[in-house]
Amino acid sequence: MNRLSILVASVLGSLFVGCTHKPQELSIVPIPNHIEQARGSLLLDSTVRLQIHCPEQDHDILSNYIAATPLGDVIGETSTPDEKAKHLTLKLVDELAEVESSEGYHLTVDRKGITITATTSNGLFYGLQTLLQLYADSKHIPHTTIIDEPRFAYRGMMIDVSRHFFDVDFIKKQIDAMAYFKINHLHLHLTDAAGWRIEIKRYPRLTGKAAWRGQATWKEWWNGDRQYVEEGSEGAYGGYYTQDEIRELVAYAQERFITIIPEIEMPSHSEEVLAVYPELSCSHIPYKESDFCVGNEQTFEFLEGVLTEVMELFPSEYIHIGGDEASKQSWKTCARCQARMQSEGLADVDELQSYLIHRIETFLNAHGRQLLGWDEILDGGLAPRATVMSWRGTEGGLRAITAGHRAIMTPGEYCYLDAYQDAPHTQPEAIGGYLPLNKVYGYDPLPDTLATAQRELLYGVQGNLFAEYIPTEQHMEYMMYPRLLAIAEVGWSRPENKDYDHFRNRTMKILSDLQQADYNTFDLSHEVGNRPGADRPLEHLAVGKKVEYVDGSAYFGGYTAGGDSALVDGVRGGWTYGDRRWQGFLGRKGVDVVIDLERTTYLHSINADFMQICGPGVFMPAEIIISTSTDGNDYTELYRTENEVIRDDSVSFRTFGWEGETQARYIRYQAVRSHHGGFLFLDEVVVR
């Protein structure tokens, strides 16, 4: 039995409209717009014959696909009409009531058979996915009418194959699941410092060396020499897709109505390119820079040569060019870059990056393609027809929409599936953060503030799975499922039809099907949940009191947790500083705050929690000092401790505080940064 045969072998979940009797519970993810059940059911067996009415090319795609599913085991195509026979009929029509999207469909099950109608073959395919999810072990399909269409045209998933390489069979396996949950775009992150993953015949060193390294994991390589090795070297780790393999993947995805979008990083994240073609960097020295030299015409010859071969392989409307996290430092002193800025009248290096983006867009447009990039492509001025993928929150996407451009929302807070999905100490290593299923599911990409005309420019939503800490196929799937299901429902279903409890119930049982189909999934049934105390307000003596940040100690503007009252607001932080509940300190002085309790009070304890995640530069304090005063002038030291801060790979939390007996009005809490530098994060100074 193939993966899909196992995957569709159950009926779960519920959403019903207009039912006149007790309905059978159904499992459909994403949940459709409208479901109505009537009495009775249809036995789906060999007496049901297949009829497909659509153009020949799509007829073959749909019939071949059905033959590979459980439906193919019990029904067969018929060429002669038989009024007495029951049919599974897939039929294209000119229009559908209550459906505007080309991907929408009607599905009807009654005593005569099953009919799926749509205005395009895409719609027929998605109606077929719903039927597959209705197909139970008993093969009895309840008499049902479903009217459905997606909320957003773009529903995507990004898989990073640069940091760790995943082969063709693994990508096909994920395409199968994406199609089943009506995801219609696969974004492949093909190039980055850790390895180049696509054959480019004009530039053989990209796969002869830049695709290989001496360490099996990204972390070992990143913390080591960050060198590349020749293909075939002893112990070489890496890989790439040949052009024939790319064609195979593209065809496989097309047969499941999925578009693959390639990403070729520029101008940064290009260490692997510049190691083997150093003449494209500002210094011409291997292993020195990560940014292409924008002042060098050879850079554009290279990029256009690469993109020409990429466009020959990928028929997608969009080509993703990255555009994120360029340091731009070498451009400030590079004679070629400075000459380019002068000749083009560019004010700064942001505008120099914009020059590159504009020029690449012109090249892509001339070949009938559109440019897609991360939201940094806004810096220095957005290219005229570019689409923005907004990852640093949603502000970049909204800026693009306001300027008349399409945007795809993929903010890290909701859509970066490389974060922990449960309590970090219970999970395999991740990049950090905390993104449980309910938070992904709760994301709404479409803010109420957008005008009606602007809403059309919000193209859709995407989940991203970067693989720095994901070295195996099993780990990749573990991070993807079930959160991919939440992305699917966010992208497809109307908000008024969404309910997390119902979704979780459907997901619990679907995970069992995925596991039987050999997908490695997170065990949602044993979810620990958020950090203890983060789910309810905390009462203590300092809540709501005034906090003074002593001269030289100020919280970082990106992690305010609400501002001056954050350390005494009664709100505990969760498993990540990204939840806006932890206040971050980056200054030399660290933490130095005075809390005014407004009157002299009996005190028994003063505590604060800190976190450590070394990867992004978050460390425990090296020293804690707690003092109190009755007048705000003379302080008595109650507690001082030194702490050895050791780098590790875990996410850890620790409470530093005093217990005893004293009276005071003012409390001074100081935390000194360690020699590692980085951030200090604390969530609350708890006084009892």
Residues catalogued as catalytic: 192, 269, 325
CA atoms within 13 A on the CB side of 214: 7
Location of structure tokens 């009654």: 110
Helix (H, G, I), strand (E, B) or coil at 577: helix
Q: Nearest Cα to 160, choosing from 194, 211, 185?
A: 194
Which run of H or of E encompasses 450? none
**Cβ atoms of 259 and 250 closer than 8 Å:** no
Quick one: 218 exposed, middle or buried, by C-beta within 10 A (0-12, 13-18, 19+)? buried
* Phi, psi values for residue 113, rounded to 5°: 140, -155
Question: How far is the C-alpha of 681 from the C-alpha of 577, rounded, in Å?
Answer: 7
Residues forming beta bridges with residue 48, ordered by sequence position: 86
Residues forming beta bridges with residue 546, ordered by sequence position: 596
DSSP-assigned states of every residue in 115-133: EEEESSHHHHHHHHHHHHH
Question: How far is the C-alpha of 256 from the C-alpha of 65, rounded, in Å?
Answer: 8
Helix (H, G, I), strand (E, B) or coil at 685: strand
Location of structure tokens 């290009």: 270
Question: How far is the C-alpha of 567 from the C-alpha of 555, rounded, in Å?
Answer: 11
Helix (H, G, I), strand (E, B) or coil at 305: helix
What sign does the CA torsion over 274, 277, 282, 283 have?
A: positive
* Phi, psi values for residue 112, rounded to 5°: -85, -20
Q: How far is CA 382 from CA 44, 396, 400, 401, 402, in A?
A: 54, 11, 8, 11, 12
Question: How far is the C-alpha of 236 from the C-alpha of 231, rounded, in Å?
Answer: 7
Q: How far is CA 663 from CA 420, 587, 600, 607, 688, in A?
A: 42, 31, 6, 16, 11
